[in-house]
Structure 1
Amino acid sequence: MKTPVRRTSTAGRRAATVLAAAGTALAGTLLAAPGAHAADSDITFSDVVVNKGQPVVLGTGAEVEVPVTYTLKTKVRLDGFWVELYRGTWGHYEDRLDNAIQQYCPKSSSGGYTYYDCDDTLFYSPRTFVNSDAGTWKTYGTAVKVGGGYDDDLLAPSVSIRRASLIESADASPEPVTSGEPITVKGTLKRANWNTRRYDLYGGQRVTLQFKAAGTTAYTSVRTITTTPTGAMRTTVTASKDGTWRWYYAGNSVTGAKATTGDYVDVR
């Protein structure tokens, strides 16, 4: 059975903290992690995957859980270790995300090494982000040695953190409609504003109208349009058969994708 331990950073935004290894009852307080430090050849982080390789998308309210998996190989005894996100130049004003971590790291031994196969969760709250935080972040691992000392490893994976998008008032009308007659599909695209904790109108974006015929499971793209400066979407198509219409926004490097649930139209 998993026995995860959740610990919250106390060092604040743009500073890392040492987090306890899962399944161990570590005494003492969390220590502030130092700046740049050469990697220790006796400690290695590998197979790091953040959020299953997908972008991390945050709205304006709910905390987001981000899974992180990795393997830690060590010849030295450790008090704690973790993988987190940063950007900038390491050791020179790098920007590190503040968060809580829940860890589950089964341990094994082989060839003089101890291995931890970790299945962690990072918890990010939109309240700790501003709009300029959207973009690409890098990963690092830190291990704290028993008796003092630490190891910082800069890792290969990068992570895209994006502002959530939202499509409001998605509606296809009239309902029902006569075959061969026009259907107008409307909607409004918005994007999370982390500075103000609200969703703002999002103009100038390419959005796609999609259709799923009754009795089928897949949507097909029908038409792509650009939202007005106020985020409005509107297009007209010809009704030919029963089915569900929806809007799909693919997102961009700083904005998450979004699809509406769809609006069913009966064609008579």
Structure 2
Amino acid sequence: MRISATVAAVSGALVLSAFAVPAAQAAGSDAGSYRADVAKIREAAHAASGKAALSGSTVASPAADEPYALNVTFSNVKVHSGKPIVVGAAAHVSVPVTYTLTHGADVDITASDFLTGPYIYKGTYAQPTNMLFGEDAGTCTVTSATTASCKATIDIYPGDGDLSNVDAGAWKAGAEAIALNGQDPTSTTFDITKVGLADQGGFASPNVTRLSKLTVNAAPEPVKKGKTITVTGKLTRANWDANNYTGYSTQPVKLQFRKKNATTYTTIKTIKTTSTGALKTTVKATVDGYFRYSFAGTPTTAPINATGDYVDVK
């Protein structure tokens, strides 16, 4: 979900600030409990630091209470198996993440109130402009006395405002762990100083890209050999600001042809989309086969091949 990111310092380690929990997702769910617990710990860590928020607001003075630095580190963070994270205009996207958790002998990662999970962030670790988390805490399998192999998911809801168009492109990954140690964040007797927090960023993440769509229509059909075939189409991509699909302008797109009964396409020419994403070009009819447009993609937008349109040449 989209947040207003801030930064705090806990025992010398940078800790990213709290994030909001939509009521629709939080009510009566384990996911909501996980998000709410993490949010409260991060909120306290930020307040304790006395740092200014990115929005320009300030904390008058550092709070006396803060979580202690938990003896946990992370490594081998792998987001979506390294593949670009492609997100459409509205549909929920679940991104798998695996990582290794290393901890001190004093940390009980099997405790029922030990929480860990990954996240991805846009911008820098010190000043992220957006952060995305999972609905649920990660699960870990103990591999030694001080290490565990963990897995989790990051949940993206573009229809709920998790992303804006400016978020497309490069992101980084992080992971966190919280030891509540019997403390209930919803209780009036909650003692933040008895809660441990570890947060580590700077891990590689694949780009978060906008889902693209591409159409093609070759006409007339059938057509006499030697006559002109007009091939039209349109390239659009997810608009996260409006939750729809809009034309992708001035992009190079290949017109390709595959003969009937052949298995591969050959590029005929490359043209550019118009300001509205439209495509139009002409070719001479030679043999029966399929025409398609092919877009190679950009760092912000996923590649796409249109479904071939068959033309019968008489």
Output the TM-score relative to the length of structure 2.
0.69
In the alignment, which of 291, 296, 313 is matched to residue 245 of structure 1?
A: 291
SS in 2 for 1:135: coil
Q: Name which one, 1 or 2, has greater alpha-carbon Rg.
A: 2
Query: Hey, what's the Cα distance between the residues in 1 that align with 2:141 and 2:311?
Result: 55
Map of 1:31 onto structure 2: 38
Structure 1 residue aligned with 2:108: 77
Q: Is the contact made by 2:118 and 2:133 (CA closer than 8 Å) also made in structure 1?
A: no
SS at match of 2:207: strand
- State the aligned residue count: 248
> Which stretches of structure 1, 4 residues or more, deviate above 6 A after TM superposition?
none
| Partner residue of 1:189 out of 235, 245, 249 | 235
Matched, 1:216 2:223: no
2:143 counterpart residue number = 109
Query: What letter is aligned with 2:148?
Result: Y
How many angstroms does 1:211 deviate by? 1.8
Mind listing any 5+ residue stretches in structure 2 that lack a counterpart?
6-16, 20-29, 50-68, 182-194
2:223 aligned with 1:177, yes or no? yes
Structure 1 alignment gaps of length 5 or more: 1-8, 18-23
1:99 deviates by: 4.2
Q: CA deviation at 1:202?
A: 2.4
Q: Does 1:122 align with 2:154?
A: yes
Matched, 1:262 2:295: no
SS of structure 2 residue aligned to 1:216: coil
Percent identical pairs in the alignment equals: 36
TM value normalised by structure 1: 0.79
Aligned CA-pair RMSD: 3.1
Greater fraction of residues in strand: 1
The CA distance in 2 between the partners of 1:89 and 1:207, in whole Å, is: 33
The structure that is helix-richer by fraction is: 2
CA offsets 1:20-40 (integer angstroms, 9 cap, x no match): xxxx9xx8852322459xxx7
Q: Which amino acid aligns with 2:296?
A: A
Is 1:160 the counterpart of 2:218? The answer is no
Show the 5 A alignment for 1:93-108: 93-102=127-136, 105-108=139-142
Counterpart for residue 21 of structure 1: none
